[in-house]
A = this chain, B = another copy of it.
């Protein structure tokens, strides 16, 4: 059975449908090791960019502050991160990955990278690159969000 042609050719619909599959694949794959999507994002971001405040983490990964709190609670509980008060700005918690968090991240990375392969399975390497490039173009264009609120480093 085919999709109705009208909606089937509609980029917005194709996009949301495909994203749903991707989302499910990632969620299931991370679920196998007891993790959520936010966990990977936060740990990866921390390892790459170093310790930072909860607000900065949220801006960088497009995670709401309120969700950030819950996520960090979970990551702290499993010992993957620690919160320490920032001596320069006592409103802030500086979030740092622990050694345990790093080994945890290795595991999540494995799962996530596997999923990228499943997700893009029908595409050739060139098509994968092109697909990713187009997504970046779209995302950069539509990022009207909290990017204007910069300077979380400039205290």
Contact = CB atoms under 8 A, between A and B. Distances in A.
Interface string A1-41: 10111111111111111111111011000000000000011
Interface residues of A, number: 59
A127 B123 contact: no
A132 B11 contact: yes
Contacts of A23: 12, 16
A139 B17 contact: yes
Interface stretch (A56-64, A66-74, A92-100): A56-64
A75 interface: no
Contacts of A21: 138-139, 142
A136 interface: yes
Contacts of A112: 10, 12
27 contacts: A1-B59, A1-B147, A3-B139, A4-B45, A7-B45, A9-B136, A11-B128, A12-B23, A12-B26, A12-B112, A12-B116, A12-B119, A14-B132, A14-B135, A14-B139, A15-B18, A15-B119, A15-B135, A16-B19, A18-B19, A19-B19, A19-B20, A21-B142, A122-B137, A123-B137, A131-B134, A134-B134
